[in-house]
Amino acid sequence: MRPPKIIVALLLLSVTFQIHAETVVYTAKLIRTMEPALPEATAVAVEDGKILAVGSLENLSSLIATRGAQIDRQFEDSVITPGFIDPHVHPTLPAVLTQFPFLAPDDWYLPTGDFPSATTPEGYRSALQNLVYKHDDASVPFVAFGYHPLWHGEVWREDLNDWFGDTPVMIWHRSFHELIGNDAAWNLLGVTQDDADAIHEGANWERGHFYELGLRAVFPRMGFLFEPKRYMAGMQNFLAMMHESGVTTAADMGTGIFGNPVGEIQAVKAAVASDPVGVRILLTPIITDFMTRGKNADEALAEVRRWQGMNDEHVSVGNHFKLMIDGAIFSGLSQMGSPGYLDGHTGVWMVDVPTLEAFAKTFWDAGFQIHAHSNGDAATARFIDLLDYLLRESPRADHRMTLEHFAYSTEDQNRKLAALGAAVSANPYYHYILSEMYSGDWLGPDRGPQMVRLGSLESKGVPVGLHSDSPMAPLSPLTLMWTAVARENISGDKTGQGEVMSRYGALKAITIDAAWILGLEDSIGSIRAGKAADFTVLSADPMTVPLKTLRSIDVIGTVFAGTAHRNQ
């Protein structure tokens, strides 16, 4: 009996679809796959957003003929790597801060312009006055990001009053964790001495200074930051920064830091949905958001589960949760072990141990991967104690609990991190911008240069990702790779050379090992059949260029889910 005509038609349609499904083969001078079994190639076939096969035009010739594949040679003189991954950013921070000029100890090159550094108190004051003079929106205070007293001297409320009178002026610390304003600024925002006095730690009204958890008295009064037109323009700046640096996947390690997590999620989703290039963003809830809103660990978990119902293919709340242990490294508020800071000041504990344990265990038992902000070596010790507690209470294989930032640790602590199966997501830019200053009155010439001990971790086999914590460092994986390999400080001196990372280790840390940190190694991070077709296209090979030119390799563009996009 003959099959019905409709079945024959459907079979023919299926065969026709399989024959004519769009298959594209990208060629390159070199493809670094980050796959040990096939480390190099010159062609990669993609189909339906996934990698179909990797090799050369010669050994892919049969597949090309069978699939009727299109050969795309636009990158044939370039180098292709897996799409770069930044495992710790804060999309909302660039969305907010790029609304304003940057005036920092380091140069910044942003979609909004180039912002040269100020490295002396006189230079800072002069540049700040010039910027304030150009401010023409009386409805909001003037804001500049990047102030740091180690370069710019101490600047407090009365200084700003003296310099700017009735013009509302706020300076945002380079750490992002501190704000200083003059009387006119606080009056405009409606922030009062009662607001400061109600905060146990984190505010000094006399100095016009709010920091760490004290910022919860200020941020709710800065609603202009989230006015839709301003905020969405800022989000587009963040996405442009990703594209220009070759980042195809990033993890937000602090969803909810401004107190409106659902609003942040919706804003990120809206920005990514309208982006013509395409990226993946993983959103990570943070403990301080729930503490500020008076939520306990169980309530937090239930809320996160609801947020996961909003996930789509590009923006998702994963099974990750972030803790906060100590204060900001840029502010000198990290917790240092004995002998501490040589000038006698102390750091800040962000969350007490019982609360850390309660939130950590709740999310650990729910199968989440725990990440913890930790900068000083005393905080590293607390991270180790917390991980040891979790493993004793609820033993778990492949937990990947991740220490975030990793400014300071001891050799003994690094051995413990390896023994406990921890991972580290590190910011190597700290060594570049801070180690010289820390080597003075804060930590001395022995501990200062040892900032971010990546060589020690690499030798012990600890999985390491490199992150920007944007905007704490430029959103540029090649810059992070250079800082990890060169260990050169802001003055151009090579210090702490015993802690250099190998080039291959650093390239892994912005590709496959960064994917491992995020639990996404099965889908991104290397170029092999079956993974997402996310690539970064470079003008030169980061493994072989002279070290001094590594961070300045041109990012020609990206391939996201199989579709190529060239940077302008």
Mean pLDDT of 43-63: 98
User: CB atoms < 10 A from the CB of 421, how many?
Assistant: 16
414 neighbors 455 (Cβ within 8 angstroms): no
Chain segment 455-498, per-residue pLDDT in tens: 999 999 999 999 999 989 999 999 999 999 999 999 999 999 99
Report which of residues 419 and 260 the model is more confident about: 419
The strand ranges marked E within 256-376 are 280-285, 315-317, 320-324, 369-374
- Residue 184 placed within a domain: yes
Residue 383: strand pairing partners: none
Q: What phi, psi does 14 have (nearest 5°)?
A: -65, -45
Pairing of strands 84-89, 247-255: parallel
User: What pLDDT does 12 receive?
Assistant: 35
Specify the CATH number for the domain of residue 206: 3.10.310.70
What backbone phi and psi angles, to 5 degrees, belong to 281?
-130, 125
Q: Which residues are CB-contacts of 162 (< 8 A; sequence separation ≥ 6)?
A: none
Query: Distance (Å, rounded) from C-alpha 504 to C-alpha 111?
Result: 30
Kindly tell me if the per-residue pLDDT of 51 is higher than 80: yes
Question: Average of pLDDT values for 191-195?
Answer: 94
Residues in the chain, overall count: 568
Distance CA 149, CA 470 (A): 21
- Examine residue 339 and say whether the peptide bond preceding it is cis (omega within 30 degrees of 0): yes
260 within domain boundaries = no
Distance separating the N- and C-terminal Cα atoms of the chain: 61
Which token pair is 83? 């799409």
Q: Does residue 162 lie in a domain region?
A: yes
Residues 349-365: pLDDT tens digits? 999 999 999 999 999 99
Per-residue pLDDT reduced to its tens digit, 309-326: 999 999 999 999 999 999
Range list of H helices, 295-409: 297-308, 353-365, 377-393
Q: Which residue is it, tokens 């789509």?
A: 312
Contact 39, 33 (CB under 8 A): yes
Residue 342 has which token pair? 């040589």
33-48 tens-digit pLDDT: 999 999 999 999 999 9
Write out the two tokens for 337: 């072990």
Residue 20 has pLDDT above 50, yes or no: no
Residue 434 structure tokens: 């801070």
SS3 388: helix
CA distance 451 to 410: 10
CA atoms within 13 Å, Cβ hemisphere of 416:
16
Residues 6+ apart with CB under 8 A from 83: 246, 247, 248, 249, 511, 524, 532, 534, 535, 536, 558, 559, 560
Amino acid at 288: T
Question: Is residue 176 packed enough to be buried (19+ CB in 10 Å), middle (13-18) or exposed (0-12)?
Answer: buried
R_g over Cα of the chain: 25
Examine residue 183 and state whether it is found in any structural domain, yes or no: yes
Res 8 pLDDT > 50: no
Q: Check pLDDT > 80 for residue 56.
A: yes
Question: Would you say residue 453 lies in a domain?
Answer: no
Confidence of residue 216 (pLDDT cuts 50, 70, 90): confident
Is residue 106 very low, low, confident or very high in pLDDT (cuts 50, 70, 90)?
Answer: very high
Q: Tally the domains of the chain.
A: 1
* CA–CA distance, 276 with 408 (Å, rounded to integer): 40
Cβ burial of 186 (10 Å; 0-12, 13-18, 19+) is buried
Element (H, E) at 536: strand 535-538
* 102 φ, ψ (degrees, to nearest 5): -100, 135
pLDDT of amino acid 486: 98
149 to each of 36, 65, 173, 232, how far by Cα in Å? Answer: 47, 64, 9, 31
Does residue 312 contact residue 280 with C-beta atoms inside 8 Å?
no
For residue 495, being part of any structural domain is answered with no
Cβ atoms of 46 and 529 closer than 8 Å: no
Judge contact between 181 and 190, C-beta under 8 A.
Answer: no
State the pLDDT at residue 74.
Answer: 97
Mean pLDDT of 100-107: 96
Angle between helices 377-393 and 353-365 (to 10 degrees): 50
pLDDT of residue 17: 37
β-bridge mates for residue 143, sequence order: 170
- The answer to whether residue 446 is domain-embedded is no
Position 215 pLDDT exceeds 70: yes
Residue 11 has pLDDT above 60, yes or no: no
pTM score, two decimals? 0.92
At residue 37, what is the residue type?
Answer: A
Alpha-carbon dihedral of residues 91, 96, 98, 102, nearest 10 degrees?
A: -110
393 CB-side CA count, 13 A: 13
Report the b/e string of 517-534 with b at 16+ CB within 10 A: bbbbbeebbbbbeebbbb
Distance (Å, rounded) from C-alpha 160 to C-alpha 338?
36
What is the crossing angle of helices 353-365 and 297-308, to 10°? 40
Identify the band that residue 212 occupies on the pLDDT scale cut at 50, 70 and 90.
confident
Domain-embedded: residue 190: yes
pLDDT digits (tens, 9 = 90+) for 486-545: 999 999 999 999 999 999 999 999 999 999 999 999 999 999 999 999 999 999 999 999
Q: Which residues pair with 206 in a beta bridge?
A: none
Helix, strand or coil, per DSSP, at residue 322: strand
Query: Which structural domain, as residue segments, surrounds residue 103?
Result: 92-224
- What confidence score (pLDDT) does residue 21 get? 55
User: Can the peptide bond before residue 228 be classed as cis, meaning omega within 30 degrees of 0?
Assistant: no
| Banded pLDDT at 568 (limits 50, 70, 90) | confident
The amino acid present at 235, given as its one-letter code, is M
Q: Is the pLDDT of residue 14 over 80?
A: no
Are 511 and 86 within 8 A, CB to CB? no
CB-based contact 425:452 (threshold 8 Å): no
Confidence at residue 559, expressed as pLDDT on a 0 to 100 scale = 98
Whether the Cβ atoms of residue 562 and residue 45 lie closer than 8 Å to each other: no
* Burial class of 385 by CB neighbour count within 10 A (0 to 12, 13 to 18, 19+): middle
Instruction: Note the pLDDT of residue 213.
Output: 83
At 224, is the pLDDT very low, low, confident or very high (cuts 50, 70, 90)? very high
Decide if pLDDT at 15 tops 50: no
How many Å apart are CA 35 and CA 511, to the nearest integer? 11
